[in-house]
């Protein structure tokens, strides 16, 4: 071959190879195509590439084998090589030659060995010599060096691409932290490991407080910087093996494996949450941002990863409800309670559909005259299995849900319809309903009342009063006032319920168009337990007078409660001592039979005297003693009840001597006589009981009651005198 021809041929070969090498960016096609071109230019039918998969790798693999050779590498597949190939370059060559010879079914005439720096060796094999006479190893040497560099470049490019794919799949682009996918995989592994080692695993779910309004107010750029800064700060507090991930918007999770128990949990969590103490500084600005955290532990709270995630979320929710910047451990009991509440709410919704609710009615009367002024509708749930459930057992669960609105709408219509049917039966009366704050505050509440009135044929606004709690006004008084005004314009009246238990603010009272104040039953029921209560009632009576509101006292259980209230100027009462809440059918007969109490009528229009309180108190005690005596006698079989309840005359005697009104000496004298008689009768009763003379006992008790009635009447007459009335 002439020199010029040889040069030209060499140049063409090199040009072709350079093109091939330059046009591939991926390793496998680069090797394959280079090998094909080399076989083409040499005319050698078998080409092998013995490579090392990574730099410094000890295991040789047959990266490529082409030509007719049957070991052609399929995509993604690594081929196992004969032992000899692994032993090192000389033996490897021998083995390769052998493989080539087998393939060619002839002895090998040519073995061309072309080292690719850093990446193994190319073997070109054939039975006869190569087509060209050019010195091939020499010719290929620079191009093979270039090939080596190209492979290195392609490998690093491929790694980079692979890395980038991984990054987008597993890492959050903003903070560079692991994302939810990577967190979940890590969590599953951590759970398996925790179970195997018996160590604890803590999952901390963090969420920035009020981040959304911050983002809206300050822009998402600053918001993003906050997230990055928080990620960095939390990341800095991590120990090796712990994981911080950003799983959504402003939500982060921390996975703390390998904890020894409570002490470790405490130590790690306190350390991490201390981050909250120092304000975040972003773009030179100190920000008032905190995060809340919910923590769940394996194995104490949750057996598996999914439950752990859910429990940490619940704990976070609980923490958020408590305050900002707070953290909470998952509380299984609370979770069960929440679950039970949800279940009850669902059941109550069904109860409304199934018509299991009913209204009971409790009368309100003018105590001195006995006039029935109206009824309060009180909700009862008739559960098919549990029977009657009082509102205190289920209302707290629904008060903050929208179901209270549906329930209130039902109550409104039911009460209106009841008023209509009583009117038809001849009872013109007003029904008070209780409306929850959530319902009352709806901007369209007046519209809803209008609809209810329209829905009930014959329904009238005058027969409806709405009782509201002060707490339902607290949030937005101006708004509630407007609603009340709109309803008042329709003729609906309002009462402030449970007055005295909240702020009892005079400002509210002044501004709200409520025509009635209801003194909370606690003040009335406990009148004779706490000496300060009559003062509270007296104050409320004065407030009502000053503000021109009517007054109703709840919790009138005993005659003395009513006596004190009437004497103080509060005439309208509601309570067990007047009438218990009753089914609608029981109302008409009850009204028919109701009569004013003599003790209450007698005190009407008189003036309050401080001495009355003690007298009513003593009267109350005396009546209770009477009841105890009859209870004692009824328990005949009871060996412990051998002695009747002691009769204490001291209190009454003292009052008669010190506080009784002047000019009532004959009544006082008679009272003393009756007290003496009652003492004797009590002793007699004890003796008769001792001797088991039960008939005589009953007779004696009858006489004792007569004396007691006479005593009470005398005391009542003294009360009237004390209040400035005439006792006859
Ligand atoms: P409330 O509006 O203050 O109703 C008075 C409560 O005191 C009633 O209890 C009544 O049965 C009870 N009560 C009346 N007189 C006496 C007495 O002399 N002694 C004692 N110990 N208790 C007396 P109830 O029916 O259990 O209702 C409790 C509360 O549930 C009501 O207090 C009211 O706040 C609420 N409620 C009742 N029905 C409804 C309703 O339909 N809707 C709404 N939102 N709340 C209701
Ligand atoms: Mg009420
Ligand atoms: Mg009340």
CATH topology of domain 172-330: Alpha-Beta Plaits (3.30.70)
**Pocket of ligand 1, beta carbon within 6 A:** 362, 378-379, 390-392, 395, 408, 411, 434-436, 467, 497-498, 521, 525, 554-557, 574-576, 581
Name the closest-CA residue to atom 33, ligand 1. Answer: 434
Average pLDDT of the segment spanning 220-238: 92
Counting ligand 1 atoms within 8 A of each CB, the residue from 362, 378, 584 with the most, and so the one to mutate, is: 378
Ligand nearest to the CA of 465: 2
Name the closest-CA residue to atom 30, ligand 1. Answer: 391
Counting ligand 1 atoms within 8 A of each CB, the residue from 521, 528, 558, 577 with the most, and so the one to mutate, is: 521
Tell which wins on pLDDT, 357 or 48: 357
Say how far apart CA 75 and CA 594 lie, in whole Å: 99
**In the predicted structure, residue 57 carries a pLDDT above the cut 60:** no
Q: Ligand 2 mean position to 638 CA, how many Å?
A: 42
Residue 205 in 3-state DSSP? strand
Residue 664 in 3-state DSSP? coil
Which ligand 1 atom is nearest residue 520's CA?
3
How far from each other are the two terminal CA atoms of the chain, in whole angstroms? 156
Checking 316-320 for CB contacts under 8 A at 24+ apart, the result is: 316/205, 316/206, 316/207, 316/292, 318/294, 319/292, 319/293, 319/294, 320/207, 320/209, 320/292
Name the closest-CA residue to atom 41, ligand 1. Answer: 379
Residues 314-351: tens digit of each pLDDT: 999 988 888 788 888 888 887 788 788 889 999 999 99
Average pLDDT of the segment spanning 181-206: 92
Say how far apart CA 123 and CA 144 lie, in whole Å: 13
**In the predicted structure, residue 142 carries a pLDDT above the cut 50:** yes
Q: Ligand 1 mean position to 378 CA, how many Å?
A: 6
Q: Ligand 3 mean position to 362 CA, how many Å?
A: 12
Q: How far is CA 456 from CA 238, 393, 450, 587, 628, in A?
A: 66, 29, 10, 21, 50
pLDDT class of 72 with cuts at 50, 70, 90: very low
Contact, 114 vs 137, CB < 8 A?
yes
Q: Ligand 3 mean position to 373 CA, how many Å?
A: 16
Least confident range of 129-133, 282-286, 556-560, 565-569: 129-133
- Sorted by sequence, the CB contacts under 8 Å of residue 397 that are 6+ apart come out as 341, 344, 345, 348
Name the closest-CA residue to atom 34, ligand 1. Answer: 434
Ligand nearest to the CA of 467: 2
Say how far apart CA 302 and CA 310 lie, in whole Å: 9
Tokens of 418: 């009841």
Say how far apart CA 677 and CA 695 lie, in whole Å: 20
Q: Is the whole-model pTM more than 0.75?
A: no
**In the predicted structure, residue 80 carries a pLDDT above the cut 80:** no
Tokens of 254: 């921390």
What is residue 642's predicted lDDT score, i.e. its pLDDT? 66
Name the closest-CA residue to atom 8, ligand 1. Answer: 378
Say how far apart CA 343 and CA 390 lie, in whole Å: 18
Q: Ligand 2 mean position to 595 CA, how many Å?
A: 24
Ligand nearest to the CA of 378: 1
Domain boundaries, the chain: 7-169, 172-330, 343-503+575-605, 612-722
Name the closest-CA residue to atom 17, ligand 1. Answer: 555
Residues 257-312: tens digit of each pLDDT: 999 888 888 888 888 877 777 888 888 888 888 899 999 998 887 888 999 999 99
Ligand nearest to the CA of 578: 1
Which ligand 1 atom is nearest residue 554's CA?
15
Q: How far is CA 302 from CA 56, 247, 312, 382, in A?
A: 47, 20, 10, 38
Closest CA to 37 of 190, 157, 187, 144: 144
Per-range mean pLDDT, top range of 125-129, 305-309, 553-557: 553-557
Tell which wins on pLDDT, 659 or 706: 706
What is residue 74's predicted lDDT score, i.e. its pLDDT? 38
Q: Ligand 2 mean position to 466 CA, how many Å?
A: 9
Q: Ligand 1 mean position to 582 CA, how many Å?
A: 12
CATH topology of domain 7-169: Beta-Lactamase (3.30.450)
What is residue 96's predicted lDDT score, i.e. its pLDDT? 66
Q: Which strand (E) or helix (H) includes residue 640? A: none
Beta strand pairing call for 327-329 and 291-298: parallel
Counting ligand 1 atoms within 8 A of each CB, the residue from 381, 415, 554 with the most, and so the one to mutate, is: 554
Least confident range of 582-596, 602-616, 690-704: 690-704
Ligand nearest to the CA of 522: 1
What is residue 63's predicted lDDT score, i.e. its pLDDT? 57
C-beta atoms surrounding 681 within 10 Å: 21
Q: Ligand 2 mean position to 481 CA, how many Å?
A: 19
Counting ligand 1 atoms within 8 A of each CB, the residue from 434, 498, 527 with the most, and so the one to mutate, is: 434
Q: What is the C-alpha radius of gyration for the chain, rounded to an integer number of angstroms? A: 48
Contact, 529 vs 564, CB < 8 A?
no
Could you please report the per-residue DSSP string of 529-583?
T-TTHHHHHHHHHHHHHHHT-EEEEE---SHHHHHHHHHHT--EEESTTT---EE
Q: Ligand 2 mean position to 461 CA, how many Å?
A: 18
Say how far apart CA 21 and CA 29 lie, in whole Å: 10
Asked whether this chain's domains 7-169 and 172-330 adopt the same fold, the reply is no
> Which phi and psi (to 5°) does residue 332 adopt?
-60, -40
Q: Ligand 2 mean position to 309 CA, how many Å?
A: 44
CATH topology of domain 343-503+575-605: TIM Barrel (3.20.20)
Token pair 């700060």 is found at 233
Q: Ligand 3 mean position to 689 CA, how many Å?
A: 45
What is residue 104's predicted lDDT score, i.e. its pLDDT? 64
Q: Ligand 2 mean position to 492 CA, how many Å?
A: 16
What is residue 361's predicted lDDT score, i.e. its pLDDT? 98
Closest CA to 666 of 718, 589, 712: 718
Counting ligand 1 atoms within 8 A of each CB, the residue from 388, 391, 441, 516 with the most, and so the one to mutate, is: 391
Q: Ligand 3 mean position to 384 CA, how many Å?
A: 28
Which ligand 1 atom is nearest residue 404's CA?
44
């Amino acid at each position: 071959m002439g020199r010029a021809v040889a040069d030209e041929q060499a140049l063409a070969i090199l040009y072709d190879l350079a093109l091939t090498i330059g046009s591939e960016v991926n390793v496998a096609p680069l090797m394959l195509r280079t090998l094909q071109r080399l076989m083409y230019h040499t005319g050698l039918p078998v080409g092998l590439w013995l490579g090392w998969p990574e730099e410094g790798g000890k295991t040789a693999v047959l990266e490529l084998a082409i030509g007719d050779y049957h070991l052609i590498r399929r995509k993604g597949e690594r081929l196992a090589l004969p032992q000899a190939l692994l032993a090192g370059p000389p033996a490897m060559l021998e083995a390769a030659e052998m493989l080539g010879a087998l393939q060619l079914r002839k002895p090998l005439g040519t073995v061309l060995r072309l080292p690719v720096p850093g990446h193994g060796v190319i073997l070109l094999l054939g039975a006869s010599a190569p087509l060209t006479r050019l010195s091939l190893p020499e010719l290929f040497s620079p191009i093979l060096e270039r090939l080596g560099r190209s492979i290195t470049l392609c490998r690093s490019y491929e790694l980079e691409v692979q890395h980038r794919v991984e990054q987008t799949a597993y890492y959050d682009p903003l903070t560079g932290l692991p994302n939810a996918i990577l967190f979940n995989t890590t969590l599953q592994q951590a759970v398996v490991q925790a179970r195997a080692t018996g160590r604890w695993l803590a999952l901390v779910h963090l969420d920035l407080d009020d981040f959304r309004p911050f983002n809206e107010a300050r822009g998402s750029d600053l918001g993003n910087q906050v997230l990055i800064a928080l990620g960095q700060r939390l990341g800095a507090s991590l120990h090796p093996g712990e994981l911080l991930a950003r799983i959504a918007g402003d939500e982060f999770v921390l996975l703390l494996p390998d904890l020894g128990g409570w002490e470790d949990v405490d130590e790690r969590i306190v350390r991490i949450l201390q981050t909250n103490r120092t304000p975040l500084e972003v773009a030179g600005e100190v920000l008032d941002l905190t995060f809340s955290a919910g923590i769940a532990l394996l194995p104490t709270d949750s057996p598996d990863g999914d439950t752990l995630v859910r429990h940490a979320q619940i704990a976070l929710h609980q923490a958020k409800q408590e305050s900002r910047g707070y953290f909470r451990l998952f509380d299984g009991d609370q979770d069960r309670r929440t679950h039970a509440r949800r279940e009850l709410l669902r059941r109550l919704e069904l109860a409304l559909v199934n018509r299991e609710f009913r209204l009971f009615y409790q009368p309100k009367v003018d105590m001195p005259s006995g006039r029935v002024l109206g009824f309060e509708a009180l909700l009862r749930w008739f559960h098919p299995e549990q029977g009657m459930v009082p509102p205190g057992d289920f209302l707290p669960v629904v008060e903050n849900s929208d179901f209270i609105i549906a329930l209130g709408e039902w109550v409104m219509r039911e009460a209106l319809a009841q008023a209509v049917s009583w009117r038809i039966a001849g009872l013109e009366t007003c029904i008070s309903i209780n409306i929850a704050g959530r319902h009352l505050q709806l901007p369209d509440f007046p519209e809803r009342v209008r609809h209810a009135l329209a829905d009930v044929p014959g329904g009238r606004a005058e027969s409806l009063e709405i009782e509201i709690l002060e707490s339902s006004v607290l949030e937005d008084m101006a708004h509630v006032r407007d609603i009340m005004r709109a309803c008042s314009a329709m003729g609906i009246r309002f009462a402030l319920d449970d007055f005295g238990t909240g702020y009892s603010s005079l400002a509210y009272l002044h501004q709200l168009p409520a025509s009635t104040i209801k003194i909370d039953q606690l003040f009335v029921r406990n009148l004779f337990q706490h000496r300060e209560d009559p003062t509270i009632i007296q104050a409320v009576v004065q407030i009502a007078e000053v503000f021109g509101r009517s007054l109703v006292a709840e919790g009138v259980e005993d005659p003395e409660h009513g006596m004190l209230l009437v004497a103080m100027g509060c005439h309208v009462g509601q309570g067990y001592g007047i009438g218990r809440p009753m089914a609608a059918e029981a109302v008409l007969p009850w009204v028919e039979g109701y009569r004013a109490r003599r003790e209450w009528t007698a005190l009407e229009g008189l003036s309050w005297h401080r001495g009355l309180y003690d007298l009513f108190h003593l009267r109350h005690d005396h009546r209770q003693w009477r009841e105890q005596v009859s209870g004692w006698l009824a328990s005949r079989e009871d060996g412990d009840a051998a002695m009747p309840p002691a009769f204490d005359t001291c209190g009454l005697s003292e009052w008669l001597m010190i506080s009784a009104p002047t000019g009532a000496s004959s009544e006082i004298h008679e009272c003393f006589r009756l007290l003496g008689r009652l003492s004797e009768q009590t002793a007699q009763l004890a003796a008769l009981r001792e001797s088991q003379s039960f008939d005589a006992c009953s007779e004696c008790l009858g006489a004792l009651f007569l004396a007691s009635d006479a005593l009470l009447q005398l005391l009542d007459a003294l009360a009237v005198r004390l209040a400035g009335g005439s006792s006859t």
